[in-house]
Amino acid sequence: MAFELLRSGKHKTPLKPKPMEEMPHTQLGTDYKTWCDSHKGTHKWRNIRWPVLIFMNLLFVVSFVFDLAILEGSLSGSRLIGFYLMDPFNALQELAITSTTGYIVHLTMNFWIGLFTILIFWFLLGGRSYCSWMCPYHFLAELAEKLHNYLVKTKKIKEHAFHTGLRFVFWFGFIILALVTQQLVFENLNVVGIVSRAMIYGPGLLLFWVFGILLFEIVYSKRFWCRYVCPIGTTWSFVGKLSPLTIKFELDKCGYCRDCQIVCLVPHELWFVQRGKATQEVHYTGSDCTRCGLCIDTCAGNALSYTIKGWGTVL
């Protein structure tokens, strides 16, 4: 049973697509377009997620400005009410460096506690849920994406996609760079840390790098950093591989419109929504899913929902 829940079902034989009389719009007695449009403009989860993200990031700022020991540091490494938290990719780079210098035995207990606490926390919440619920760059990129989509829709630019495997090249590349240079090279390019520190301690020249990436995403490739580069997101997707909290898809409620895939940062995780692709009545999104809830908001048939695997729908 547990093993079955972890499998995506991608390699099974697809089920037959539903006939017209079983389509959700037919059962409701409405036409297809009216049915598809019925959830347009619904932003329930986004309207919960954005305030959570902004609140958590402002907590860093407020703690610094008013010298409160609530959430100190930045997203690269912090203390929550005195309790250490460590970004796992930052920790991996440090482990790579200290393992070659012999200093690994000198890493403090706080390092290990901070690392394992955050790993367990985000594992329980879905791994890459860190991206959509916590990362300040995600917030900026989500806004930039709207501009990008407008430019594509009005045919001013074309979309350029890359192979999603590219992020593994960057992930290994930054680990190897840390090993070779004995420096946290990625931290100089890490848009998450740059934005987080700029909010807390004030803007610096490195913000131009962030604006450059955002501009590239607007005019050339949608969500380029999060989709193809960010090793933090990749690390969280490893963590979320076995996470219990995920998105459940119910085939009988799906109308094959694929609106959910259009709004999704990682559309490959919703492969089963295409007509004739689902192999099971119920599918779960995989580890790249950021648990952002955009697909839930957009689905006219309520075919998608937050779930704890094996427990049924939770929200």
Provide the binding-site residues for ligand SF4, judged by CB under 6 A: 131, 135, 137-138, 191-192, 225-226, 230, 232-233, 247, 263-266, 269-270, 285, 289-295
Residue placing its CB nearer to ligand SF4 in the complex, 26 or 306? 306
- Distance between CA 214 and CA 229 in Å, rounded? 13
Report strand pairing: 245-250 vs 71-74.
Answer: unpaired
Q: In angstroms, what CA-CA distances link 202 with 90, 198, 205, 206, 241?
A: 22, 5, 10, 11, 36
Residue 210: CA atoms inside 13 Å, Cβ hemisphere, count?
24
Q: In angstroms, what CA-CA distances link 40 with 247, 268, 289, 304, 306?
A: 20, 22, 22, 15, 19
User: Rounded to 5 degrees, what are φ and ψ at 222?
Assistant: -60, 125
Crossing angle of the two packed helices 136-153 and 44-65, in degrees rounded to 10: 140
DSSP characters over 35-57: HHHTTTT--HHHHHHHHHHHHHH
Residue placing its CB nearer to ligand SF4 in the complex, 94 or 297? 297
Task: Note the Cα 312 to chain centre separation in Å.
Answer: 22
Minimum distance from CB of 145 to ligand SF4 (Å)? 11
Minimum distance from CB of 31 to ligand SF4 (Å)? 26
Residue placing its CB nearer to ligand SF4 in the complex, 31 or 60? 60
Minimum distance from CB of 173 to ligand SF4 (Å)? 15
The residue type at 160: H
Minimum distance from CB of 297 to ligand SF4 (Å)? 9
Residue placing its CB nearer to ligand SF4 in the complex, 27 or 40? 40
Residue placing its CB nearer to ligand SF4 in the complex, 171 or 225? 225
Residue placing its CB nearer to ligand SF4 in the complex, 65 or 143? 143
Residue 227, classed as helix, strand or coil, is helix
Minimum distance from CB of 54 to ligand SF4 (Å)? 14
Residue placing its CB nearer to ligand SF4 in the complex, 65 or 262? 262
Q: Say which residues have a Cβ less than 8 Å from residue 43's Cβ, sequence separation at least 6.
A: 297
Minimum distance from CB of 44 to ligand SF4 (Å)? 13
Minimum distance from CB of 269 to ligand SF4 (Å)? 5
* Closest chain position to ligand SF4 (CB): 233
